[in-house]
Amino acid sequence: MSNSTQSTSGGYWTLARDNANFRNLWLGQIISLLGDWFNLIASAALIAQLTESGLAVGTLFVVRMLAPVLVSPLAGVAADRYNRKHILIAADVGRFFTAAAFLLIRSPEHVWVVYLLSFLQLGIGGFFFPARSALLPDIVRSDQVGAANALTSATWSVMLATGAALGGLVAGTWGIYPSFVIDALSFILSALVLSRIQLEVQPRLEGDRTLRTVMRQYVQGLRYLKGHGEVAVTALHKAALVFCFGAPLEVVQVAISREVFSRGEGGALGLGMMYAVVGMGTGLGPIAARYITGDRLGALRWSIALGYGFAVIGLLLVATLISFEGVLLGIFIRSFGSGIIWVFSTQILLQIVLPEVRGRIFSTEIAFSMLMSAVGASIGGYYLEWFGIAGTVRTTALLTLLPCALWVGWLVYRRSAD
């Protein structure tokens, strides 16, 4: 067993135990993610309750996806200009106020306020996430970046598997508005935990605060992508993932839960089980793969191709619709692969991107993936109309082969060029 693999197997506990800065960042992530899921469930339920319109609920999801896209230039520059810890705390405080404001919405004529508050909350979150990603290498040793990235990503998966269920339980048992209270309080608690981080590394980007300067510095970040081929193609994986199969499969899962294997009222129980399996797959995939790859860049690159392979196999299994258990297994395999793609592409960027441009790279990556998620979800709806459920899943499997082939081709070209 290699040294990198040995350090991988035991590095997670050591990192969380010995690095107080990472431990506080990780705990803040757990708390704020819990609040995020409570808000998603509650705001969607509130829109449905006030309007009784599926289109209105769909519009809410579009607003939530597009908000980070629109703020990404400002968010990326901010993460490279200002203290990243202070950005995280300010974002949590801002989201506390937006979450609390949901409590004031009581009548259908105020539905537009739900959209406004959702846009503000997700827009503020658009500042939070690039800053957190950019902060990670500032608070852990270079040989711990892989473990830190894998652990934070697995935490997202666990919260996906449990947070939505808890949010639905609270909203269904005590009503919608207590969920907004919990969401608001989670941001305050997260801010308090993050305030304990001791940050020594400071961003280096300077300049005045005019919009012209901000946009010029953001464009400089885009030029960095243009001049660094590996960074550019690696930053596209998340967008490819959500466009080709991630977002379309979310649409398909709703159809499967309602029309094919209905569990619970309106298929809600079955849909919840699917999301729980997604959480387990995306969490276990990169943890298991990293046990073999360690933090070696070459192994991480080729594992992304393997991740696409897992995704295709899982999608083809789902497309058989042979049984509900078979669908769950297919979703798990697909998620196992997508977790590898997501986490390892992030780890590669953390290892190769310069610190002074890290915020702009991650904000651009997030913006593009959110945009492609919105497009992919829309296209997934059209796929269902044209091809039906099984045909849609087979189509996404076929489409997923394209980024896989392009990535393998790029790796082969890169090896021959070296």
Residues 69/370, Cβ–Cβ less than 8 Å: yes
Angle, vertex CA 245, rays to CA 297 and CA 29, nearest 5: 60
Instruction: In whole angstroms, give the CA distance from residue 103 to residue 251.
Output: 29
Residues 293/299, Cβ–Cβ less than 8 Å: yes
pTM of the model: 0.78
CATH number of 1-203: 1.20.1250.20
Instruction: In whole angstroms, give the CA distance from residue 145 to residue 22.
Output: 10
Do the domains at 1-203 and 224-418 have one common CATH topology?
Answer: yes
Instruction: In whole angstroms, give the CA distance from residue 165 to residue 254.
Output: 16
Instruction: In whole angstroms, give the CA distance from residue 285 to residue 289.
Output: 6
3-state DSSP call for residue 322?
coil
Residues 284/338, Cβ–Cβ less than 8 Å: no
**Per-domain residue ranges of the chain:** 1-203, 224-418
The rounded radius of gyration (Å) of the Cα atoms in the chain is 21
Q: Give the pLDDT confidence score for residue 221 in this predicted structure.
A: 77
- The CB density around residue 125, as the number of other CB atoms within 10 Å, is 22
Q: What is the 3-state secondary structure (H, E, C) of 250-309?
A: HHHHHHHHHHHCCCCHHHHHHHHHHHHHHHHHHHHHHHHHHHHHCCCHHHHHHHHHHHHH
Element (H, E) at 325: helix 324-352
Direct distance between the N- and C-terminal alpha carbons of the chain, in angstroms, rounded to an integer: 27
In the chain, the amino acid numbered 203 is: P
Residues 43/114, Cβ–Cβ less than 8 Å: yes
Please tell me the CATH superfamily of domain 224-418, with its number.
MFS general substrate transporter like domains (1.20.1250.20)
Tens-of-pLDDT digits for all 418 residues of the chain? 344 444 444 477 777 777 888 888 888 888 887 777 777 777 777 877 787 665 676 677 778 888 888 888 888 888 888 888 898 999 999 999 999 999 988 888 888 888 899 899 988 988 888 888 888 888 888 777 877 887 787 777 777 667 766 766 676 677 778 888 888 998 999 999 999 988 766 666 666 566 677 777 778 777 888 878 888 899 999 999 999 888 888 777 777 777 777 666 555 567 667 777 887 888 888 888 888 888 788 889 999 999 999 999 999 999 998 888 898 999 999 999 999 999 899 889 988 888 778 788 888 888 888 888 888 877 877 787 788 888 888 999 999 999 999 999 988 887 765 5
Residue count of the chain, please give it. Answer: 418
Burial class of residue 8, CB neighbours in 10 A (0-12, 13-18, 19+): buried
Closest CA to 411 of 308, 280, 295, 278: 308
